Amino acid sequence: MKLKVLVDNNTYIDQYYCGEPVVSYYIEDEDIRLLLDVGYSDLFMKNSDALGVDLGSVSTIVISHGHDDHTRGLKYYFEQNNNIISIIAHPDAFKEKSAGDLKICSPILEEELKEKCNLILSKKPIKVSKNITFLGEIPQINHFEERKPIGKQIIGETLVDDYVRDDTALVYKSEKGIYIITGCSHSGICNIIEYAKEVYKDNRVLGVIGGFHLFEVTKQVNKTIEYLKQNNIKELYPCHCTSFTVKAEIHKALPVKEVGVGLEINW
């Protein structure tokens, strides 16, 4: 499997790509090409061109969750592309979401999206390629990672607290173990890892890349570090919504690798 970071908060010194506080990854698994998330603007397309990534070869876009920093790029994608594509997400991903007076959802909601692509919505795990699985809804497994509501969402005609149950991740299975690729980890990074182990019946967690949604050193962060140590995870790439303070705290216990636009990982 090959993964390229198309967009992230961070950019590397002397590598002239642009960043924004979002996530977008280009992933290859054998003959399948896919994206995880599309960021907030058309930047994922501009960086794709600069990185030599052919978005025309992408057959599937997986959405980690429905917030606009992961989905707003769909607007620009469909303005410039009319090829048939599949989009895979949790059933809540394309509901209307808001925080106060601010809309924080995808600019294209479920009914309109069905007209533009092959939309696949699932709470259950789905194979997206030979070695990669979309996890679907992540169960609450660890007591220290309780879900917290972020704004509201509309279910039917009812406005309800949004516990971001659409937050999910991808898992790549190799002969040596599993790798986890996340968007924001609103479900809890340890919940995600533990569920990935359960889905694949494999406790060998080799690496994790993505946002951990951790900002201050709290009891949850300390518990997270203990969990990561217990699982002996060698390759940690916390990025996007993981603060420098938290990355530094993790680095005291386990080596943290830097993530930036243009990073290429071959697993």
User: Each residue of 172-229: pLDDT tens digit?
Assistant: 999 999 999 999 999 999 999 999 999 999 999 999 999 999 999 999 999 999 999 9
16-25, 31-40, 80-89: which has the minimum mean pLDDT?
80-89
- Could you give the angle at the alpha carbon of 98 between the alpha carbons of 92 and 103, nearest 5°? 110
Contacts of residue 141, defined as CB under 8 A and 6 or more positions apart, other chains included, come to 190, 191, 194, 195
Check residue 38 and give its pLDDT.
Answer: 98
Is pLDDT of 157 > 90?
Answer: no
Give the mean model confidence (pLDDT) for residues 149-166.
94
Q: What are the structure tokens assigned to 257, written together? A: 């690798």
Check residue 82 and give its pLDDT.
Answer: 83
Check residue 2 and give its pLDDT.
Answer: 97
Which stretch of DSSP H or E encloses residue 98? strand 97-99
Check residue 30 and give its pLDDT.
Answer: 95
Mean pLDDT of the chain: 97
CA neighbours closer than 13 Å in the CB half-sphere of residue 119: 16
Check residue 3 and give its pLDDT.
Answer: 98
SS3 93: coil
- pTM strictly above 0.85: yes
**Contact (Cβ atoms closer than 8 angstroms) between residue 24 and residue 39:** yes
Phi, psi angles (nearest 5°) of residue 220: -60, -40
Contacts of residue 218, defined as CB under 8 A and 6 or more positions apart, other chains included, come to none
Check residue 89 and give its pLDDT.
Answer: 98
Is pLDDT of 36 > 90?
Answer: yes
Strongest mean pLDDT among 67-71, 77-81, 156-160? 67-71
Q: Which residues is 160 bridged to in the sheet?
A: 153
Check residue 235 and give its pLDDT.
Answer: 97
Check residue 211 and give its pLDDT.
Answer: 98
* Percent of the chain predicted with pLDDT > 70: 100
Check residue 125 and give its pLDDT.
Answer: 98
Phi, psi angles (nearest 5°) of residue 200: -95, -5
Check residue 156 and give its pLDDT.
Answer: 86
Largest CA distance in the chain: 50
Check residue 143 and give its pLDDT.
Answer: 92
SS3 222: helix
Is pLDDT of 81 > 90?
Answer: no
Task: State the DSSP code for 139.
Answer: P
Q: Dump pLDDT digits (tens) for 189-203.
A: 999 999 999 999 999
Amino acid at 82: N
- Measured between alpha carbons, how far is residue 170 from residues 32, 43, 95, 159 in Å? 14, 22, 21, 29
Query: Predicted confidence band at 116 (pLDDT cuts at 50, 70, 90)?
Result: very high
